[in-house]
Amino acid sequence: MAQGTNDREEENKSSSEEAALSARLGSLEHRLSELRDSRNIRTDQSGAESGDGSARASAMALGFRLSSELIAGVLVGGLMGWGFDRLLSTSPFGLIVFVLLGFVAGVVNVVRSAGVAQGKTGR
C-alpha cells in the first residue's frame, strides 16, 4: 500500500512539473511572437533603413570597383614595364616609367568612373 501511495505522489509531482513546463513554454512562445510582430512592424515602417542598407551596399560595390581599377592600372603598367625591361635590357627604367604611367591611367579611370570628370564619350 505504501508503494501505491508513492507512485501516485510521483505521478502528481511529474504532472505538476509538466504543467509548469507547459505554462513556461506557452509564455515563451507568446513573448517570441510579440517580438517577431514588433520586428515586422519596425521593418515595415522603416523603409528608409532598408534603403540605407542598399545604399551602403552600392557604395561598397563602387568602392571595390574604383580600388580594383586603380590597382589594375598599376599592375598592368608594372607588367608592361617589366616586359620592356626584359626585351630591351633597360632594367629598371622601363619598370619605373610604366608603373608611373599605370598609376596615372588608374587615377584617370577612377576619376572617370566616380563621375568627377567626363570621359571622351560624355562630351
Residue 106 to residue 72: CA distance in whole angstroms? 7
Going from N- to C-terminal start, the domains of the chain cover 1-45, 54-123
Measured CA to CA in angstroms, residue 44 lies from 34, 40, 50 at distances of 15, 6, 9
Instruction: Provide φ and ψ at 77, rounded to 5°.
Output: -60, -40
| Cell numbers found for residue 2 | 505504501
pLDDT digits (tens, 9 = 90+) for 51-89: 677 888 888 998 999 999 999 999 999 999 999 999 999
With contact defined as beta carbons under 8 Å apart, do 102 and 75 qualify? yes
Taking the model in full, what pTM does it have?
0.52
With contact defined as beta carbons under 8 Å apart, do 109 and 73 qualify? yes
- The whole-number average pLDDT for the span 79-101 is 94
| Residue the block writes with cell 614595364 | 81
With contact defined as beta carbons under 8 Å apart, do 81 and 95 qualify? yes
pLDDT digits (tens, 9 = 90+) for 6-28: 667 777 778 888 989 999 999 99
With contact defined as beta carbons under 8 Å apart, do 82 and 61 qualify? no
Alpha helices, H only, the chain: 2-45, 47-88, 93-114
